[in-house]
Amino acid sequence: MKPGPQLTERQAKWFATVKANFETRSGRSLEAWVEIMKTCPETAPKARQAWLKAEYGVGQNHALYILDAFNPAAQPGWDEPAELRAALWKEAGSLAILEAVEALASGVQGVISGQRKGYTAFSRAVQFAAVRPLKGGQAVLGLKLEPEASARLSPAARKESWSERLSATVELDDPAAVDGEIARLFAAAAERG
């Protein structure tokens, strides 16, 4: 897909609301949270997020906002989609699968592709699909569909970092697996999103 907006209008509004209401909702300024993070005994991002929840009751979205401000240079941020993509899609096989999914997405009207740290998202009004790399040059595609929609789909086997609405998944071994059936399923999920 050609570069374009990374967020739908609805998603951009949501992020702006999180930012605007952050201090009121979290009880502290972002600067105060950054100071608190200096006392965190954890070093891994997920562990730091869990620590914020356990010690201060901070939810996932606010924790991610705090962590981004606390350690902004550790990895690319939301406003650096090309860098996020390069960091995530390192294996040539996985990247080829992503490109095949992006090619079929470009044929579905109104689809916006947004790069996240752990996956590439596809949205219309809301996110309806996501794909993330797997080891060995493979990828997994999550769709906003019931797994019964196709024999190729499985229920999400593990908790993914993408939207919980994506309840069906399919593992893709190579770009050729992104075939007519995947295109049909992708379009059906887009209709729901």
The CA-atom distances, in angstroms, between 95 and each of 61, 70, 131, 157, 189 are 28, 30, 11, 23, 22
* Chain center to CA of 5: 15
The two three-digit tokens of residue 59, written as one number = 């939810």
Reduced to 3 states (helix: H, G, I; strand: E, B; else coil), residue 33 is: helix
Per-residue pLDDT in tens (0 to 9) along the chain, 193 residues: 344 555 566 666 777 787 788 888 888 998 999 999 999 998 888 889 899 999 999 887 788 778 878 875 556 555 677 888 998 999 999 999 999 999 999 999 999 898 888 899 999 888 999 999 999 999 999 999 999 999 999 998 777 878 788 999 999 999 999 999 999 999 999 998 7
d(Cα 99, Cα 44) in Å, to the nearest integer?
Answer: 30
Residue 2 confidence (pLDDT): 40
- If you ran DSSP here, which 8-state letter would residue 73 be given? T
Which residues have C-beta within 8 Å of that of residue 77, sequence separation ≥ 6? 68, 84
- If you ran DSSP here, which 8-state letter would residue 163 be given? -
The enclosing H or E element of 70 equals: helix 60-70
Residue 11 confidence (pLDDT): 63
- If you ran DSSP here, which 8-state letter would residue 46 be given? H
Sheet strands (E) in the chain: 112-115, 120-123, 127-134, 138-143, 154-155, 168-172
DSSP lists the bridge partners of residue 139 as 133, 172
d(Cα 138, Cα 146) in Å, to the nearest integer?
Answer: 22
Q: Cβ distance 169 to 156 under 8 Å?
A: yes
d(Cα 153, Cα 116) in Å, to the nearest integer?
Answer: 23
